[in-house]
Amino acid sequence: MLSFLPAPVRGTLAALLLVLNTLVHAPILFVFALIKLVPIPALRTWCTRVMISVAEFWMRCNSGWMALSGNIRWDIEGRERLDYNGWYLVTSNHQSWVDILALQHVLNRHMPMLKFFLKQELIWVPVIGLCWWALDFPFMKRYTKAYLAKHPEKAGQDLATTRKACEKFKSTPVAVFNFLEGTRLTPAKHAEQNSPFRYLLKPKSGGIAFVLDAMGEQLRSLLDITIHYPGGNPSFWGLMCGKVTHVVMHLELKPIPAEFIGRNYQEDEAFRGEFQAWVNQLWLDKDAHMTRLHQQYPTPMDRSSR
């Protein structure tokens, strides 16, 4: 709609709208977060639902400035099968910071709000960190193998944190989200990993295994999302400047094997092997899917290599 303006101007306006949108809605979240501290279960559940509605309206406003800044063609497949009152474990490939806003735009009000597992340090991000806390996004502290060797008492703390976080999800429908790759795809990371996948990094299975251990009986399905940008992997600034013109997103519901529910990923070696094999097959299928998408919607790099 504002395509007549230079891209930097559109980007600046979009950034201002994003900041204004956040500053308007954040105080409302904080008020209900304080009310939610009152130890009355029914009141807490009501506050959670109100806060989710506020967050969903925040996402709708973000969709608004995205439409103002540019003209994105959205090719979406599989969204019609989703249930706003369902319970889901959700994963996706991860190519750009744009992924998160794209996912929120496509899924908002079609399924429960996505709850991401976040690094503990992100709680200190100004304003938005407190918003994540108020909305019960789980914050995780990861320990290196070297640290655990010196402090074995910390072993298993990730699972305990996951269980505690998932307890908050049991009263309201939720979509627990995890980027299995753990980080955004770049050529450097792909080469460093010596990834066996053409368009993906290696998946990490521990995060979703912990979620299934904590609340597997409630999660009905795995929603497997594949994102592709025919214009090439975009930057966040590129999105705000209206330079993202085409997003392809395919959503596929898959059953979660019943034999994976209630088993201990850390202590059950046989289960860990079975689970890792299942996740690896998901990624093999996704890489094949990405190959088809690159053929159907070639990127500039695809065209130059032909």
Task: State the CB neighbour count (10 A cutoff) for residue 115.
Answer: 22
Beta-carbon contacts of 292 under 8 Å, excluding residues fewer than 6 positions away, are none
Are 241 and 7 in contact by the 8 Å Cβ rule? The answer is: yes
Which pLDDT tens digits describe the chain residue by residue (306 residues)? Answer: 778 889 999 999 999 999 999 999 999 999 999 999 999 989 998 999 999 999 999 999 999 999 999 999 999 999 999 999 999 999 999 999 999 999 999 999 999 999 987 777 777 888 888 898 889 887 776 655 665 566 666 556 666 666 777 777 777 888 999 999 988 999 999 999 999 999 999 999 888 888 888 777 788 789 999 999 999 999 999 999 999 999 999 999 999 998 888 788 878 889 999 999 999 999 999 999 999 999 999 999 888 876
Domains in the chain (CATH in brackets) are: 74-234+245-296 (3.40.1130)
Q: Could you give the angle at the alpha carbon of 111 between the alpha carbons of 109 and 117, nearest 5°?
A: 110
Pairing of strands 221-228, 118-119: unpaired
Are 194 and 133 in contact by the 8 Å Cβ rule? The answer is: no
